[in-house]
Amino acid sequence: MYNMKYPNLFAPLKLGNVVLRNRIISAPQGFLHLDAESLPTQAAAAFYEEKARGGAAVVTIGEGYVDSVHGIDIPKGIHLDTDDCIGGISLLADAITKHGAIASMELQHAGMYASESYVNGNAIYAPVERMGEGTKAGARLHGVLIPEMPEEVILETIEKFAEAALRCKQAGFGMVLVHGGHGWLLNQMMSPVINTRTDKWGGSLENRMRMPIAVCDRIREVCGRDFLIDFRFSAADVCNPGGYTPEDGIAMAEMIDGHVDLIHCSVGNHEVEESFVVVHPSMFLEDGCNLKYAAEVKKHVKTPVVAVGAFSDAQLMEDTLAAGQVDAIAMARGLIADPDFPLKARLGKDEEINRCLRCYQCFSGLLDTRQFCCAINPVIGRELENKFDTASYKRKKVLVAGGGIGGMAAALEAAKRGHQVVLAEKSGKLGGALLCEGKVSFKKNLERYLSLQAKRVTEHEHIEVHLNTPATREFAERTEPDVIIAALGARPVVPVFIPGYDKANVVGAEEVYYDLRKAGNRVAILGGGLVGCELGIHLAIHDRDVTVIEMAETPNFAGNMLHGEAVMAQIAIHGIRLLTSTKAVEITDNGVLAKGPEGEIQIEADTVIYAVGQKALTEEVDQLRFCAPEFYTVGDCNLPANIAKATKEGYYAARDIGRI
């Protein structure tokens, strides 16, 4: 008998006559690789297939629109309102179900936030007549008078949900997720704040729940009992002063109880900017931070309950299920960071899991390039090319210079592909510059990831590790490699351009990360990038009085706007003084003399910490450039890079070896 480490996590869940193979659900993610007809491509199928292969019980497709005329908020989403979609979505269903998972489709209608429908010249509706507003989808609707949804349109929309679900069933899906949360149409109808209608579709709780219940009942009628319905809703309207309470959420759940197979408890409203970092928890929140809402709902309903939000620890998930707090757990970013999470946990190899850093690189990638990506998983968004890459290139001897994020990624992939790898790291430990953040409370998953990668490297039979060994030209000549991958990183810029930079009260950010005792009670940080701002938060948590000084008009979050929002929220929570458009003129014994919009100011500080950027080690790289026939540079030694860029460049450099 196999000694299962997580018996509750891998216990089957019986829903009617359907059995889920475990309690892990891949939460909806909308993959934007669609064709001109808004139908999935092979790349999209490969994206979802990876999660099914990794062992999730259910894989949910995001953003399937039941009404592409009146109900869409983004240009890219699967249109489910004609039979033309069946062939395309069957591609997704087949990719998922052939690996033993249940394919689920999110059914979505944007309601009064259907900005794309409005831009396209189509009518949109709200529960009651109101002026358009919002920060995201609603931003394009400011000043637009949105009419009340007539009863005949309500009835038509209910039917559209059911018709979309039937098309999904015909395509091979076994479940739909009816989206009743995050501020979309059904959530608008459920809201006591928004839905103040005076007919049977609004006002009282019974009336406000009439449409979502009707949608679920009609799907059941059309698709049959064995076709599963997962109802996702916001169990609380967090961060919204005018929103509804957890008690309201419990009352809503009690109303939907018995009409669906799963009650899926999220939180928040997508148009309330402050709620983003709670709906999609930032690294500053604890693991499973939204569990409390689902656990309360569980006490009041008979339908199995799903929790979602910041789950990446298999033991926490096991304990949650063992305690009966919920019946299943949904993961989104956790299965982007490691689609094999379920398989690794089932095998008791959870130490091998790449835990999500909650850095928002995936979201920022979607916003910037419309491509999924991940800071620690270079395959995400490129599953199709990796699925069919079985090339067996000539085996070579590879010298990896540097044992940081990029170097370790390169070494592991090169060794996996059969190359003989020598890794030289000048320090006594693998992990690179990010090792300094090992004691930061909100970076614990980064620390785990670095330790895991180091373990993988040191234990790999095809990787020879040399610590305390600079990758010099002489070392390369002794090693005689066929290939060199330079991953030497970068070093902090010392602000020699600021008078007083060499005073005794001045120290670099990296040094303070390693030893908080180097920071006095009052701290001034020069540089409002991620390094400076995150260090400021770390110091504030440890009771320092912090001022961050940034020359630009806004902090520089390296393109990761969503993590930037989380950082700014923490700056406010901890009372950190952030001075933008402010230049340090001189460092004094008592702090910093700076010039800002109001003129010169003296910032009192016991310690001045510089975090003004990184400088690539170009001279060290150039020493190695002609020491082997093949030569690649990755990560910071090209230009200062983030984790995602270093990981991706290291991974693909290793895959390019020996092509010729």
Residue 599: φ, ψ to 5°: 105, -160
What is each CA distance from 530 to 420, 533, 549, in whole angstroms? Answer: 37, 5, 13
Mark 332-341 as b/e (b = at least 16 C-beta within 10 Å): bbbbbbbbbb
Q: What is the mean pLDDT of residues 43-64?
A: 94
Tell me the domain boundaries of the chain. Answer: 13-384, 392-492+615-656, 506-612
Q: What is the mean pLDDT of residues 416-439?
A: 95
pLDDT (0 to 100) of residue 364: 84
Q: Is the pLDDT of residue 408 over 90?
A: yes
pLDDT (0 to 100) of residue 2: 56
Average pLDDT, the chain: 93
Q: Which amino acid is at 142?
A: H
Structure token pair of residue 530: 């991620």
pLDDT (0 to 100) of residue 238: 87
pLDDT (0 to 100) of residue 371: 80
**Spelled out in words, what is the top-level CATH class assigned to the domain 506-612?**
alpha beta
What would the pLDDT profile of 171-209 be if each residue is shown by its tens digit? 999 999 999 999 999 999 999 999 999 999 999 999 999
In this prediction, residue 276 has a pLDDT band, given cuts at 50, 70 and 90, of confident
Helix/strand/coil (H, E, C) string of 30-43? CCCCECCCCCECHH
Q: Is the pLDDT of residue 621 over 60?
A: yes
Topology (CATH level 3) of domain 392-492+615-656: Rossmann fold (3.40.50)
Q: Give CA–CA dist 259/640, Å, rounded.
A: 53
Q: Is the pLDDT of residue 212 over 60?
A: yes
What would the pLDDT profile of 101-150 be if each residue is shown by its tens digit? 999 999 999 999 999 999 999 999 999 999 998 887 788 899 999 999 99
CATH code reported for the domain at 13-384: 3.20.20.70
Enumerate the β-bridge partners of residue 266. Answer: 234
Structure token pair of residue 175: 């479940």
Among the residue ranges 387-391, 453-457, 462-466, 481-485, the one predicted with the least confidence is: 387-391
What would the pLDDT profile of 603-616 be if each residue is shown by its tens digit? 999 999 999 998 88
What would the pLDDT profile of 339-364 be if each residue is shown by its tens digit? 999 989 988 888 999 999 999 999 88
Q: Is the pLDDT of residue 641 over 80?
A: no
What would the pLDDT profile of 571-598 be if each residue is shown by its tens digit? 999 999 999 999 999 999 999 999 999 9
Q: Is the pLDDT of residue 656 over 90?
A: no
Structure token pair of residue 85: 């979609």
pLDDT (0 to 100) of residue 445: 94
